Amino acid sequence: MQHNNSERLHEEALKVIVGGVNSPSRSYKAVGGGAPVAMERGQGAYFFDVDGNQYIDYLAAYGPIITGHAHPHITKAITKAAETGVLYGTPTPHEVTFAKMLQEAIPSMEKVRFMNSGTEAVMTTIRVARAYTGRNKVIKFAGCYHGHSDPVLVAAGSGPSTLGTPDSAGVPAVIAADVITVPFNDPDAFKDAIEKWGAEIAAVLVEPIVGNFGIVEPIKGFLELINEYTHNAGALVIYDEVITAFRFTYGGAQDLLGVQPDLTALGKIIGGGLPIGAYGGKKEIMDKVAPVGPAYQAGTHAGNPASVLSGIACLEVLKQKGVYEHLDRLGALLEKGIAETAATHNMPITINRLKGALTVYFTNEKVMNYEQAENTDGELFGKFFKLMVEQGIMLAPSKYEAWFITIAHTEENIEATIHAVQNAFEALAKE
């Protein structure tokens, strides 16, 4: 497979765009380097790159593209938005319709606000929780990613629960010092953190099903325990459902698992591919937000008709019968095929899958927390990634990311993918 145009484009990009990419995760740094494949067109389950190569897409733009690319119903909605003006700076009927749709799907969101990214949504839930409780500290879980706002770019120190240090240059140490990081799926470490800092905690922030060190489900009772201890401490529970909402069911992970947070942050899928974020929660908490309350949050493009109409269309597609069954069925086929191939070639593989999302870790060990995901073989993943790309299968260039199946994927796509995995494992076994 030729990548001459991608390589040339990357050289040009490096001259004008820092690192040649507009988001660090798009770089191939974590998979041994090289020019990232640049795409020109997406259609259904397929991508077409600037060299004319075709790929089956499991990147799905890191989550939002659950309907496949250029879904006709969404395309129609975006076209309508383009024809009727994309931004008014006034209320619109569309945003009310959309808010009602979200509220119906995720009932814990009694009041909603729209914004433009998952980063903004999470950042604001933290602000609102601080405004509501009058406290500053936040507990988060190691390896969960919540966007790039200051309070969530915090690394754990050593020990089961620790006050944070900045994970990025430019984040003030005083901000990181208000964030406590605890391992995911570790009830004792969580209880310990609440015991130590409970009276100062404004919120506990968690991906209810993790998507950012691969797909990792909470152990039985973990989310219930978070709710109980957090509420007893007088603090709020925030679910970051930027990846999980409408991913596994028509609703949030909270609806799938039957545990409700106080505040929820959304993004990705709910924009149907256009930029969006949203947050919401209990009315009395949301009433802290301006113009009703004293916590400020605003946005020129917030609730813009293009993103909202695209989001409504996306949810309409997802609401159709059989959508999540299709994702689950193909996910199960893919998991089975990869697991059988791994057994044949003696590949050390662990697959975490929930419905149409899965992560293939290069390890024989279970992966239930970030440390275990960190300990999987990144070098082997890097080689696997490149072997897959060369066969026209596009994955995210990181051992920590999920493969996302879309409703446009077919059984034939899954069979072709398993065949490519077979070839890749065969090549890796020979090394």
Question: In Å, what is the CA distance from 21 to each residue of 35, 39, 64?
Answer: 10, 13, 19
- 267 makes contact with ligand PMP (CB under 6 A): yes
Q: What is the 3-state secondary structure (H, E, C) of 225-293?
A: HHHHHHHHCCCEEEEECCCCCCCCCCCCHHHHHCCCCCEEEEEHHHHCCCCCEEEEECHHHHCCECCCC
Cα gap 333→414, rounded to integer Å: 7
By CB under 6 A, name the one of 147, 208, 218, 356 that touches ligand PMP: 147
- 401 makes contact with ligand PMP (CB under 6 A): no
- Give burial (CB, 10 Å; 0-12/13-18/19+) of 49: buried
Closest approach, Cβ 341 to ligand PMP, in A, equals 28
Candidate list 186, 240, 255, 262, residue with the active-site label: 240
Rg of the chain over all Cα atoms, to the nearest angstrom: 21
The position carrying tokens 């325990």 is 225
- 280 makes contact with ligand PMP (CB under 6 A): no
By CB under 6 A, name the one of 44, 166, 211, 273 that touches ligand PMP: 211
Task: Looking at residues 34 to 93 of the shown chain, list those that interact with ligand PMP (rule: CB under 6 A).
Answer: 62
Closest approach, Cβ 299 to ligand PMP, in A, equals 13
Q: Which residues pair with 154 in a beta bridge?
A: 166
CA 366 to mean position of chain CA atoms: 21
Candidate list 137, 140, 268, 355, residue with the active-site label: 268
The residue (of 119 and 369) whose beta carbon lies closer to ligand PMP is: 119
Cα gap 168→148, rounded to integer Å: 9
- 146 makes contact with ligand PMP (CB under 6 A): yes
- 162 makes contact with ligand PMP (CB under 6 A): no
By CB under 6 A, name the one of 42, 44, 118, 281 that touches ligand PMP: 118
By CB under 6 A, name the one of 13, 31, 115, 243 that touches ligand PMP: 243
Provide φ and ψ at 430, rounded to 5°.
Answer: -80, -20
Closest approach, Cβ 420 to ligand PMP, in A, equals 26
- DSSP element (H, E) containing 51: none
- Selected range binding ligand PMP among 141-149, 225-233, 246-254, 422-430, rule: CB under 6 A: 141-149
Q: Is 319 in the active site?
A: no
- 119 makes contact with ligand PMP (CB under 6 A): yes
Cα gap 247→80, rounded to integer Å: 26
Closest approach, Cβ 251 to ligand PMP, in A, equals 16
427 CB-side CA count, 13 A:
16
The residue (of 257 and 387) whose beta carbon lies closer to ligand PMP is: 257
DSSP 194-218: HHHHGGGEEEEEE-SSB-BTB-BPP
Closest approach, Cβ 259 to ligand PMP, in A, equals 17
For ligand PMP (CB under 6 A), the number of binding residues is 15
Q: Is 268 in the active site?
A: yes
DSSP 116-158: S-HHHHHHHHHHHHHHHHS--EEEEETT----SSGGG-EE--S
Cα gap 238→43, rounded to integer Å: 35
The residue (of 44 and 356) whose beta carbon lies closer to ligand PMP is: 356
- Selected range binding ligand PMP among 115-123, 163-171, 309-317, 357-365, rule: CB under 6 A: 115-123
- 240 makes contact with ligand PMP (CB under 6 A): yes
By CB under 6 A, name the one of 56, 122, 193, 357 that touches ligand PMP: 122
By CB under 6 A, name the one of 55, 58, 145, 248 that touches ligand PMP: 145
Closest approach, Cβ 62 to ligand PMP, in A, equals 5
Candidate list 28, 145, 239, 324, residue with the active-site label: 145
By CB under 6 A, name the one of 49, 207, 217, 401 that touches ligand PMP: 207
By CB under 6 A, name the one of 27, 117, 254, 376 that touches ligand PMP: 117
Structure tokens at 36: 């990232």
By CB under 6 A, name the one of 13, 242, 295, 308 that touches ligand PMP: 242
Cα gap 421→391, rounded to integer Å: 9
For residue 404, what are the contacts with CB-CB under 8 A and spacing of at least 6?
58, 59, 60, 63, 65, 66, 247, 356, 357
Q: Is 377 in the active site?
A: no
Q: Which residues bind ligand PMP (CB under 6 A)?
A: 62, 117-119, 122, 145-147, 207, 211-212, 240, 242-243, 267
| Active centre residues (catalytic) | 145, 240, 268
